[in-house]
Amino acid sequence: MLGRLLQRMLGLDVPAVDVEEADGLRREERALFLDVREAAERRAGTIPGSRHVPLGRLLAAPDPGALAGLPKEGRVVVFCATGARSAVAVRALRRSGHAGAVNLRGGLAAWTRAGKPLARG
């Protein structure tokens, strides 16, 4: 039981992609990217071309994916600063029928450490 709880807290219970796979999806335009951080965090930098819906707003919506303008089909890479909030968002999106939602493992921190491009939010 503790193992499952810890996995859930760390976001290890949701499908995820690493930075290299996510960047490949971005470059090939095969996924939408969703930033669930707060506006002030986003202003410091974000993944180019990503959409923005803060986690609290996403969770309050009856259909989180519709709020974010996400199609039911296709891959959606969700990210936050470290991957914890985005794991919560992935769970909500998948429950609402967005089976292609995945977490960016390590979040924007891992993206930045890998030297991937950033855009002003």
Annotated active-site residue 34? The verdict is: no
3-state secondary structure of 73: coil
pTM as predicted: 0.90
3-state secondary structure of 102: strand
For the stretch 37-53, pLDDT in tens is: 999 999 999 999 999 99
* Beta carbons within 8 Å of 9's beta carbon, 6+ residues apart: 84
Q: Choose the catalytic residue: 16, 80, 89, 110.
A: 80
Q: pLDDT means per 10 residues in the chain (121 residues)?
A: 49 86 96 97 97 96 87 93 97 94 98 97 75
44: tokens are 């410091």
Domains of the chain: 2-113 (3.40.250.10)
Q: Are 78 and 34 in contact (CB under 8 A)?
A: yes
85: tokens are 């909030």
Instruction: Give the dihedral of Cα atoms 10, 12, 15, 18; nearest 10 deg.
Output: 80
